[in-house]
Amino acid sequence: MSTQPLRITKVEAVALSASFDDLYDSPEDVPDWLRYPASSHLVLPRRGQYATLVKVHTEDGSVGIGEAYGLPSPQVTATVVATVLAPLLIGQDALATGAIWERLFKGQAAGGHNRGFYLEAMAGVDLALWDLRGKLAGVPVHRLLGGPVRETVDCYASPVALHADPEDSARQALGFVDDGFKALKVKIGRGERTDRAHLSAVRAAVGDDIEILTDVNCAYDLDEATRVGAVLADLGISWYEEPLQVDDLANLAELRRRTGLTVVNGETHFTRFDLRDSLLHRAIDVFMPNVARCGGITEAMRLSALASAFHVDIAPHGVGSGVSLCAALQLCAATPNLRTYEYNRLPNPIRENILVNPPKFTDGALVVPTGPGLGFELDEDTVDRYVIARF
């Protein structure tokens, strides 16, 4: 790789949308569990799968491709990339990933834009820059990060959604086991009795050898979460994700003390400053960064290192397109304190379908891509089917 600067000449943002309506004969046929897969969606239903692709061009003709989180509207992050970040990027050295990250973060931190859509847009740029660096060096990104620590990544199927009937939850869970998963995550958050019914049905269906994880999506207060925690303990389940509001750190710490369960948080946190407070409160056992949300690989590596200082693992959140899937696997391959990875299995045409070479899943694990950069090749014709805006 050259020691000379490589200037950025153009930045593109491409908003993708794959509507659930298009997966069925009519909108009325879309099942409720797909519209409302988690308790948090009872307010804002899921209508499809979304992502914003970011393409960074340089003066030598090279292109790096990343992804900014697209929920609930990919046009938002695409607009931030095109109108706020792009002017800060043109003319900068594309190889100076750390310097660019600080430039973008400081550009809006004083204005209070240090989380949310702005960090998600930054993530898309950062992933594109790492993809570019790997392509120029001819190696996968995990090699640039000091890996691989591992060449395959243990993962769990997510989610067993909010079905009305416990038997439907059990049926979906068995489908994941038949697909080769050794672990799966069940959405709960509807009260002690209902949660017990669904979790008991899933446990009876899959047996004791399959690991069950749970995700509450912030549905409970401390007392209700304590009662449901007892249900989890009865069923041999330890993973208790987002049982309370994500910023309720004092009560998360108390819940962790009361239940002895593995308290998990972080998919809606963004930077090391968010993680710092969770660690100081001793509120979590596992942190779940999403590389397409938390500022990209640059910040995710900092998060992982900070977590390790408190003997906390990371387990990346896995919602997005095939681009962020490959990016997350690069991070996982280079991270010593990795617990597991969330392999989202909701219907999603912009996950594997947009990749010429999607990651292989075998024996409960995903194989880390070894191609240069983030390790994927886009199927541009398939991508074009889902484009709703270009910037």
CA-to-CA dists, residue 199 to 80, 111, 273, 297, angstroms: 41, 44, 35, 35
CB 153 within 8 A of CB 369: no
Helices (H), 238-385: 249-259, 272-280, 297-309, 322-333, 380-385
Choose, from 163, 198, 269, 317, the residue flagged as catalytic: 317
Estimate to the nearest angstrom the gap between the alpha carbon of 325 and the chain centroid.
8
CA-to-CA dists, residue 240 to 28, 94, 187, angstroms: 33, 40, 10
142 part of the active site: no
Estimate to the nearest angstrom the gap between the alpha carbon of 364 and the chain centroid.
18
CB 309 within 8 A of CB 336: no
Pairing of strands 63-69, 48-58: antiparallel
- Sole residue written with tokens 């669904």: 198
CB 349 within 8 A of CB 358: no
* Dihedral angle sign, alpha carbons of residues 118, 55, 153, 346: positive
* Dihedral angle sign, alpha carbons of residues 86, 92, 97, 102: negative
CB 56 within 8 A of CB 63: yes
Active-site residue list = 317
